[in-house]
Chains A and B, each alone.
Chain A
Amino acid sequence: AQTVTQSQPEMSVQEAETVTLSCTYDTSESDYYLFWYKQPPSRQMILVIRQEAYKQQNATENRFSVNFQKAAKSFSLKISDSQLGDAAMYFCAYRLLQYGNKLVFGAGTILRVKS
């Protein structure tokens, strides 16, 4: 079975500090995309960052960056200079080439930001 594991149900970070959210996944496929989505209290899912599995270079988007370890099947998200608006549920997900766009999600990590 294809699975995504987020081992941290909740995390807290002080404003302006850095936090890392963990994610591991399990797939026998070699070609896929990895994603981090943010879901604020409004429940609207927002794409934070994505990584192509064939690329060795880690993706970055402003304060958000990933540490992609393909052999270990690990895909962690680092948020630098945390802001109050970063408080949300964060989901790790991957998408296989087969069937195009089927996303498999982890259970999510609630991130709390303290002022």
Chain B
Amino acid sequence: DVKVTQSSRYLVKRTGEKVFLECVQDMDHENMFWYRQDPGLGLRLIYFSYDVKMKEKGDIPEGYSVSREKKERFSLILESASTNQTSMYLCASAAGARIVGNTIYFGEGSWLTVV
């Protein structure tokens, strides 16, 4: 089974802290994604990566950055956490840069509370 693992399920951080959310997939997928989920807004794409060291901004990249130094790992970074970044964050991965029919696999989510 494909596994997408988010290292932290629940985090509480203080305003201004630097926060790292880690995601690892074990299926050699090229594509990886970070979404944010908020009530009434669905899932919104923050960043995605279609190869190592490649990244593209999604719909709401402000206040976030990402790192993909290895194919299996995609990190989301909040340089200076703010209360409006309190949310659930979902990581996902999929094979094939141009094969849209491929299934996207999701992690279990990371609940981040910024106080």
A97 & B100 in contact (Cβ 8 Å cutoff): yes
User: Which residues of chain B are near A63, meaning CB under 8 Å?
Assistant: none
Instruction: Name B39-92 residues within 8 Å CB distance of A.
Output: 40-45, 48, 50, 56, 58, 88, 90, 92
Alpha-carbon separation in the docked complex, A98 to B83 (Å) = 34
Instruction: Classify chain B's interface size.
Output: 20 to 34
**Complex Cα–Cα for A63 and B23 (A):** 33
Chain B nearest CB from A86 CB (Å) reads 19
Which of A33, A42, A106 is the one whose CB lies under 8 Å from B108?
A42
Q: Count contacts between A and B, CB distance < 8 Å.
A: 68
Q: Which of B41, B43, B97 has the largest number of chain A CB atoms within 10 A?
A: B43
Question: Which single member of A93, A99, A103 contacts B50 (CB below 8 Å)?
Answer: A99
When chains A and B are docked, how far (Å) is the Cα of A50 from the Cα of B104?
11
Given contacts A93-B43, A101-B94, A101-B99, 20 further A-B contacts (CB under 8 A): A6-B42, A9-B40, A32-B100, A43-B88, A43-B90, A43-B108, A43-B109, A45-B92, A50-B101, A100-B31, A101-B50, A101-B100, A102-B33, A102-B45, A102-B58, A103-B33, A105-B43, A107-B40, A107-B41, A108-B42
Instruction: Verify A100–B97 contact, CB threshold 8 A.
Output: yes
A99 to B92 Cα, complex, angstroms: 15
Interface footprint category on A: 20 to 34
Report the separation of the CA atoms of residues A99 and B104 in the bound assembly, to the nearest whole angstrom: 14
Closest Cβ neighbor of A33 among chain B residues: B100
Counting chain A CB atoms within 10 Å of each CB, which of B42, B50, B109 scores highest? B42
Task: Using CB atoms, name the residue of chain B closest to A103.
Answer: B104
- Tell me, rounded to whole Å, the shortest Cβ–Cβ distance linking A11 to chain B: 15
A100 touches B96 (CB 8 A): yes
Q: What are the residues of chain A within 8 A of B104 when measuring CB–CB? A: 47, 101, 103
In angstroms, Cα B108 to Cα A93, docked, is 18
